[in-house]
Amino acid sequence: MIRKFLRRVFRRDTSHSAEPALIPVALHGISRDRVSPASRRICTVLQEAGFRAYVVGGAVRDLIAGIAPKDFDVATDATPEQVRQLFRRSRIIGRRFRIVHVMSGPETIEVSTFRAHLSDDASTDEHGRILADNVWGSIAEDATRRDFTVNALYYNPTDETVIDYHHGVGDLKQKTLRIIGDSQARYREDPVRMLRAIRLATKLDLVIDPVARAPIRELADLLGNVPAARLFDEMLKLLTSGQSVGCLKRLREEGLHKGLLPLLDVILEQPQGERFVWLALENTDERVRAGKPVSPGFLFATLLWHEVLSNWEARKAREEPLQPALFEAMNEVLDQQAEQLAITRKISADIKEIWALQPRFERRSGKTPFRLLEQARFRAGYDFLRLRALSGEIALEIPEWWDRFADANPEERGVLLQPERDPGARNKRRRRRRKTPGEGLPETNT
């Protein structure tokens, strides 16, 4: 009896019927206490106001797969203005896709209105990418508009049922990632879906359905038409998924990595640079899986370091001053990368701080080590230094010395300090910096 019911619920519907499968909690396993209180409350308020409202998409998918969701989204038939009226702490954001951010305690829940089918006169660019999408529709239309079947799932916290229009629960249990609709058209509408396919397949250990996989290599160039800010957001999700190593390998297999991190393409062709990158990504994955925080600034600092290093070495060979040469190299590399990925100003500042600390770790005499310990970014800079040593770029003795120095008491630190290389040279530099009266003034003819 139970087997017949399972087959009936999870069989693929080839007729594209508008009637969804209503899957009870006994089969999908999501009890309401596993859903964030804020998203439950938002659904309740909307439903009591006469609207339909469900937890939707990635959170439902992850809960069924046994993964703790990073965030919870809500979908409803209420318009953004109607949602805004119901929640005092909320704001409407976006132009291309208007949604509402509802703040509840420490949580911010993204509430979107059901989208309608695309009309023939929908606003798109010459490649088919959707430029505006604010036409509201039914839940059935909204499900069809979603990218993959495992994302077209709607959970009702009130009765704990999952509404499934496209066999998403069955695909998830059968470890298959299928796209909804024509794959070419769906990727042209939003090329970021190709990156999302790689991320989801790797994260959930799914096999990408041949129909969904076939056009990816052919359409990879469309990513060059995506706004840099969106690409950055998607790459950040991919790199902090806990499966960044697997994701990057699959991106390369599918031909999607070219142009996403342009300088990374070069780095991965250098043995030392490649080892450094893989060590950094493995370290990030371990932290994510252990529930530890991950700094985007640290992550991108590792991915782009070897291009900075190469640029810096070239400048030093031209006898440019050490620290100014590093800053010039940093700016040049970040400017090149910004053409493809819109790394935020804050993250760029974090990246630069980590890079700028590296030469200071070389100086282990005088007052420099004590001052460096007081730097707010010391720990991040040290972790970065250790990765450099593990990859073979610098001697492991350097981070090991800093380990001992950081853990030592004040007296022991004094013993650990290395002698000044040439104290006399420092005094000479200081004397040169002192100007005599009239120094630097232009000469005049008398």
The catalytically annotated residue of 13, 71, 77, 383 is 71
The catalytically annotated residue of 62, 133, 142, 147 is 147
Catalytic residue flag (residue 71): yes
Helix (H) or strand (E) holding 53: strand 53-56
Number of residues that make up the chain: 446
d(CA 4, CA 347): 53
d(CA 311, CA 307): 6
Cβ neighbours around 399 below 10 Å, total: 19
* Residues 6 or more apart whose Cβ sits within 8 Å of residue 188: 127, 128, 129, 219, 222
d(CA 153, CA 165): 7
Token pair for 99: 């949604």
User: Nearest 5 degrees, angle CA 333-CA 339-CA 341?
Assistant: 90
* Residues 6 or more apart whose Cβ sits within 8 Å of residue 247: 198, 199, 202, 203, 238, 239, 241
Catalytic residue flag (residue 147): yes
90 CA to centre of own chain? 25
Q: Note whether 219 and 204 are within 8 A (CB).
A: no
Residue 164 phi, psi dihedral angles, 5° rounding: -130, 105
Token pair for 439: 């120094």
d(CA 51, CA 161): 17
Beta-strand runs (E) in 58-183: 73-76, 90-93, 99-104, 107-113, 153-156, 161-164, 176-177
The catalytically annotated residue of 62, 73, 164, 350 is 73
Token pair for 110: 């993204």
Nearest to 384 by CA among 355, 412, 425: 355
Could you tell me where the DSSP H helices lie in 240-377?
244-253, 262-267, 271-289, 296-317, 322-338, 345-361, 368-373
Q: Note whether 12 and 174 are within 8 A (CB).
A: no
Helix (H) or strand (E) holding 55: strand 53-56
Question: Which SS3 state, helix, strand or coil, does residue 62 take?
Answer: helix
Catalytic amino acids? 71, 73, 147
